[in-house]
Structure 1
Amino acid sequence: MPKAYSYLRFSTPEQMKGDSFRRQTTLAHEYAARNHLDLDDKLTFHDLGVSGFRGKNSETGRLAEFLEAVRTEFVPRGSYLLVESLDRISRQAARKAMKVLESICDEGITVVTLNDGRAYTEDILNNDPMALIMSLLVFIRANEESANKSIRLKAMWTGKRAKATQKPLTSNGPAWLRLNKDTGQWHVLAECADVVRRIFQEYLSGRGQGAITTSLNQERVPLFFRDTRKGKRVGAHWHRSYVRRLLENPAVIGAYIPQSTEYKDKKKLRKTAGQPVPGYFPAIIDEDTFQRAQALRMDTPSPLRGKNAHGETRNIFGGLAKCSRCGATMVYVSKGNYKGKPYTYLVCQKARVGAGCPYTLVPYSPVEEAFLRDAPVLLDSAPTNAEDSALLTEIERMDAALLGSSDHLEALADAYARTRLDALLKEMQAITTERDELQKRRDELSRKAGAVACPMATKRLLELDEALKAESLDRRKVNTLMRMVFERFTVDPDNCGAYLNWKTGGASQWVFFGFPKDKAETGVTNTEENPKAAKAA
């Protein structure tokens, strides 16, 4: 008696709750009984919740396992594969779907479609033109239905996102919130929200993301990130990526970022699908705190990271100092003490490892003293938001381009629906790719604009001014505020000067911390070696 195997597939796990599973199982048993087949219920191939539209079931699902079982003779040639209809095998483009059917039949398997009782074998596909045509027509219809369904779903979600301010789109939300489905209101989980606030507070105090992660794990702070589909925690421990995601997530100030699902090279991608919706979630962080964190994150890593994560801040230029010769980071080094005097320097990291930049020791104390001396004048000359209008102009230009892309795509979609020309489809795909890149760039500029907005920037300047004028200099606080205000601090060893680049754009006047020495005479610019170390050398 020939063997028969049942193959089930639905597009989503939710269909498990419907009639699809029962119907397909019943049809398989009835067909096997009528045709005297031995239905193997121990090796039933179920692709539950795997979509045939993207070809996942034939490439990574149980259908791939079935083909492998046939090729290794675990499933004998001459067996039957029972499916409800051909579209259960694949809903890809007809050409690709046909290859899937052929690959099964070429292994000596008879494919039976239970809805009409048709059988497909290698011999039938080779010699019965009508069977070949019918299978192609079924695949064409299935692919068009899936494509149309995808378009309708996108349109539905577009409409939902347009009404996002009226009611929640979905029960999925940030890990520190839960939706009351009866009232439609979001409720804050106090313990989780306190952890988020703590992360922002520690980050703004100057601690790096790695140090924050370590302290959360050492204190056994519960991880509250969850897989929204499975409702389970994503891990047992905190990771640096979790801290980073919290610090950059606008949901903490109540903003919702609409997203859509796209497929590229058979990979599922989440992409921004519109402008942020403010006030969608309850805010657990005030906007000033959030924007200060974004300013701190922009191109200025914390000096308190790695082996220095729990150390004392000695260098107020940590994460900012750059070499004028090569652009590499200038690091803080200590050459020890001699007669009670510490010998500390700024040195180009590239020069330290012999990577081509001349090795020059720049005494740290004169640089810090010169900056503190000139800081009041520097802060008074900080650029205003008006001087950063180019950023806003660029955002407006991108908004116009995005609107034009959407209109163009809509016109192409209408034309494709009428003509089904492949050229139109390719043009739509190209424009969609360009639009996604444009949206990504626009989002980056928008975040930067928020971080350097005039009221926020002015407040940070005042805070830095107060910290610099304090009776006792808190170097960690000063460094944190400087990384919010400045993009970099470029040190020029040859001219014994430095200048600052503002995050709002532009550069400061020069700060001079010494007088250049004659390099031909000394061979080294502006160095002040520890006499003890020099003698030992």
Structure 2
Amino acid sequence: MDKIILSYCRVSTTEQSTDGAGLENQQYANNQAIERLQKLERYKRLDDIVEIGSAFKGNNLTSIIENAKAGTYPKGSMIVMFDQTRFSRTNFLDSANRMKELLDTGVNIHFSTSNETITSEKLVDFGGFVSMLAKAEAANKESKSRSDRTLTSYANKIAKGEIVAVGKLPNWIRKNYDTSGSKPRIVGFEIIPDRKEVLEAIFDKYINGEGATSITAWLNKNVEPWPEFDHKRKDKANRVWRESYVTKILVNPAAIGVDFP
């Protein structure tokens, strides 16, 4: 079984993901590192993993660690990430433990900014482990500082009466920007007209007694799938409406609202 190599990137906001801020830099550095590593050893490259959300508050590496533990990634495989802040979470010991948890499976970690590869062997001696803890603590402090700066920025915008968008919007809503200044500013939101029609058709059919399977078949026959569906597929001709998505729409609070007592 071939050893694999993959690029892991994390950005804190949807804007960084869609507009390229932060994400493009990570992807460029990771791609450069992967090219260097593939010249030294034979790896099979897997699709990139890109996650949106603060690693300081969330658990962004669970799927990678679980795959490594399950043997999905052969020993000697490589996870390439921008720097150690990709691991940072609630405290530096937790960050170090999560890193050790991955390394203990025999999968290695490469930081593209420092061109440094971390292996389980490097943690055997006391000095190596202390060095990792020190770097984990520094990474955690940096993530905490970034999180605090973001919260302060949001608070400042709210105080000025500006619109603040946090998290990912439903894919039938888009932001409106004021581009008259030096930096685009969000001034509102709007429902995308053609997607509104699709949502209304889905619910009309559901109200009339059709199930998700029937609705999905109708969509695939009559409505062009939205471009973001299956964006990782190499064969774009396979982009289709999926029953799982239709089911999510029918129970999504963003579409049907939320009842409060």
Task: Tell me the TM-score normalised to structure 1 length.
Answer: 0.30
Any residues of structure 2 matched to 1:321-400 within 5 Å, and which? none
Q: In structure 2, the residue corresponding to 1:48 is in which secondary structure?
A: strand
Q: What do the CA deviations read for 1:172-215 (whole angstroms, capped 9, x no partner)?
A: 9xxxxx978479988999xxxxxxxxxxxxxxxxxxxxxxxxxx
Aligned to 1:71: 69
Aligned to 1:15: 16
Query: Aligned partners of 1:87, 1:32: CA distance in 2, in Å?
Result: 21
Query: Aligned partners of 1:11, 1:141: CA distance in 2, in Å?
Result: 18
Q: In structure 1, the residue corresponding to 2:163 is in which secondary structure?
A: coil
> Structure 1 residues 56, 188: CA separation in 2 closer, same or farther (over 3 Å shift)?
closer
Task: Tell me the TM-score normalised to structure 2 length.
Answer: 0.58
- Alpha-carbon contact 1:8-1:24 (below 8 Å) kept: no
Q: What do the CA deviations read for 1:347-371 (whole angstroms, capped 9, x no partner)?
A: xxxxxxxxxxxxxxxxxxxxxxxxx
| 2:152 equivalent to 1:155 | yes
Aligned to 1:90: 88
Give 2:117's aligned amino acid. A
Query: Aligned partners of 2:3, 2:190: CA distance in 1, in Å?
Result: 60
| 2:135 alignment partner, one of 138, 143, 168 | 138
Aligned to 1:54: 57
1:105 positional shift: 1.0
Aligned to 1:340: none
- Bigger Rg, structure 1 or 2: 1
Give 1:28's aligned amino acid. A
Aligned to 2:195: none
Q: In structure 1, the residue corresponding to 2:9 is in which secondary structure?
A: strand
Length, aligned pairs only? 187
1:4 positional shift: 2.4
Q: What do the CA deviations read for 1:39-78 (whole angstroms, capped 9, x no partner)?
A: 423xx35132132111320xxxxx3222222222221122
Give 2:11's aligned amino acid. F
> Structure 1 residues 155, 90: CA separation in 2 closer, same or farther (over 3 Å shift)?
closer
> Structure 1 residues 67, 45: CA separation in 2 closer, same or farther (over 3 Å shift)?
farther
The runs of at least 4 consecutive aligned structure 1 residues that moved more than 4 Å come to 182-189, 232-240
1:34 positional shift: 3.3
Q: What do the CA deviations read for 1:327-386 (whole angstroms, capped 9, x no partner)?
A: xxxxxxxxxxxxxxxxxxxxxxxxxxxxxxxxxxxxxxxxxxxxxxxxxxxxxxxxxxxx
- Alpha-carbon contact 1:93-1:140 (below 8 Å) kept: yes
Query: Aligned partners of 2:73, 2:37: CA distance in 1, in Å?
Result: 17
Q: CA RMSD in A?
A: 3.7
Aligned to 1:504: none
1:112 positional shift: 1.9
Give 1:150's aligned amino acid. S
Aligned to 1:262: none
Aligned to 1:412: none
| 1:35 alignment partner, one of 40, 43, 46 | 40
Give 2:34's aligned amino acid. H
Query: Aligned partners of 2:189, 2:118: CA distance in 1, in Å?
Result: 56
Q: What do the CA deviations read for 1:73-100 (whole angstroms, capped 9, x no partner)?
A: 2211222222222222334411100001
Aligned sequence identity (%): 19
1:102 positional shift: 0.6
What 5-or-longer segments of structure 1 have no aligned partner? 58-62, 173-177, 190-216, 219-231, 246-537
> Structure 1 residues 51, 39: CA separation in 2 closer, same or farther (over 3 Å shift)?
farther
Q: In structure 2, the residue corresponding to 1:124 is in which secondary structure?
A: helix
Q: In structure 1, the residue corresponding to 2:6 is in which secondary structure?
A: strand
Any residues of structure 2 matched to 1:231-270 within 5 Å, and which? 234=252, 241=259
